[in-house]
């Protein structure tokens, strides 16, 4: 199943509290990275990979996100919005956007991470496993800041470890395929965290991992933001830029 057949929900409501010293008072997805808002890089990559239908789940300073992304035409995308008026958490944002997510499965992306995904292989693995949720995982040299995803035979997710455990491991890359009907069972209590509250419920009950070999970046801290700056400058020099 190509990305063009999937609705993509980008979680774009984050405040970027840890970036306040280096980034103006902006939603995290609009943090400037290599001269462009981070969201520009995300939407450009989605368009380059074939996406068409994108929903932005907005929260903090949603007006700025709407002003920047508008209807998505500059990327060749159809962009719609699900706006939260109180903090819902990452899982709550998915529940709130359910009516805007027609594809089965649909994609969820964290708005502060960038990962190169082979989407057709991702979707094929999700369907072959009969998964409810499949999470993209990437190997990192030090998983202390993220916590680890533990995989069993057949890349079933066997569990998670807390942040703080140093050393190499597989981490959640912030990209998911989720069965369309799954969020109906998550409840409406907010805030609801996808990572802490929802995923552990599905261990042993349809939660799969999908190993990604592509580049993984996040902009959650000043150090990782600087790494993203360097990567996207190099990427622009290599001629991989916006699609529209």
Looking at the domain assignment, is residue 165 inside a domain?
no
| Residue 68 domain-assigned (yes or no) | yes
Give the burial string for 225-239 (b: 16+ CB within 10 Å, else e): beebbebbeeeeeee
Beta strand 7-12 with 106-110: parallel, antiparallel or unpaired? Answer: parallel
Judge whether 56 and 79 are in contact, CB under 8 Å.
yes
Q: What is the pLDDT of residue 244?
A: 37
Which domain CATH number covers 99?
3.90.550.10
With respect to residue 149, please indicate whether it lies within any of the assigned structural domains. Answer: no
Please enumerate in sequence order all residues whose Cβ is within 8 A of that of 223, keeping only pairs 6 or more positions apart, or say none: none
Model-level pTM? 0.94
- Contact yes or no for 147/159 (Cβ under 8 A): no
Three-state secondary-structure class, residue 50: coil
Instruction: For residue 183, tell me if it sits in a domain.
Output: yes
Taking only the tens place, the pLDDT of each residue in 145-201 is 898 999 999 999 999 998 878 899 999 999 999 999 999 999 988 899 999 999 999
Q: Give a yes or no: residue 228 inside a domain.
A: yes
The pLDDT value given to residue 79: 98
Instruction: Look up the domain containing 8 and give its range.
Output: 3-138+172-237
Q: How many separate domains does the chain show?
A: 1
Looking at residue 242, its pLDDT comes to 46
User: Is 166 a member of any domain?
Assistant: no
Q: Is residue 10 situated within a structural domain?
A: yes
Across the 244 residues of the chain, what is the mean pLDDT of every consecutive 10-residue run?
Answer: 96 71 76 93 96 96 96 98 94 97 98 95 98 97 92 97 88 97 92 96 97 91 89 82 44
- Quote the crossing angle between the two packed helices 38-48 and 62-69, to the nearest 10°: 50
Assess if residue 244 is contained within a domain.
no
Cβ burial of 41 (10 Å; 0-12, 13-18, 19+) is buried
Contact by Cβ (8 Å): 149, 135: yes
pLDDT, residue 175, reads 98
pLDDT of residue 243: 40
């Amino acid at each position: 199943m190509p990305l063009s057949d999937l609705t993509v929900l980008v979680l774009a409501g984050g405040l970027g509290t840890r970036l306040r010293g280096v980034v103006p008072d902006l939603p995290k997805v609009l943090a400037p990275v290599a001269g462009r808002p981070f969201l520009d890089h995300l939407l450009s990559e989605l368009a380059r990979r074939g996406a068409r239908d994108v929903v932005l789940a907005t929260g903090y300073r949603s007006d700025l996100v709407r002003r920047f992304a508008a209807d998505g035409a500059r990327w060749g995308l159809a962009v719609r919005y699900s706006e939260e008026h109180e903090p819902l958490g990452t899982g709550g944002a998915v529940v709130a956007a359910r009516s805007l997510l027609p594809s089965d499965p649909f994609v969820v992306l964290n708005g502060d991470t960038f990962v190169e995904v082979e989407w057709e292989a991702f979707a094929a693995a999700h369907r072959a496993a009969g998964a409810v949720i499949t999470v993209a995982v990437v190997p990192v040299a030090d998983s202390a800041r993220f916590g680890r995803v533990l995989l069993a035979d057949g890349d079933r997710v066997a569990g998670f470890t807390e942040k703080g455990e140093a050393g190499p491991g597989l981490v959640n890359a912030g990209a998911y395929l989720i069965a369309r009907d799954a969020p109906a069972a998550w409840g409406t209590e907010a805030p609801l965290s996808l990572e802490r509250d929802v995923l552990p419920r599905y261990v042993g009950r349809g939660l799969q991992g999908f190993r990604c070999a592509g580049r993984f970046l996040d902009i959650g801290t000043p150090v990782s933001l600087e790494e993203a700056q360097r990567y996207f400058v190099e990427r622009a020099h290599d001629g991989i830029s916006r699609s529209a």
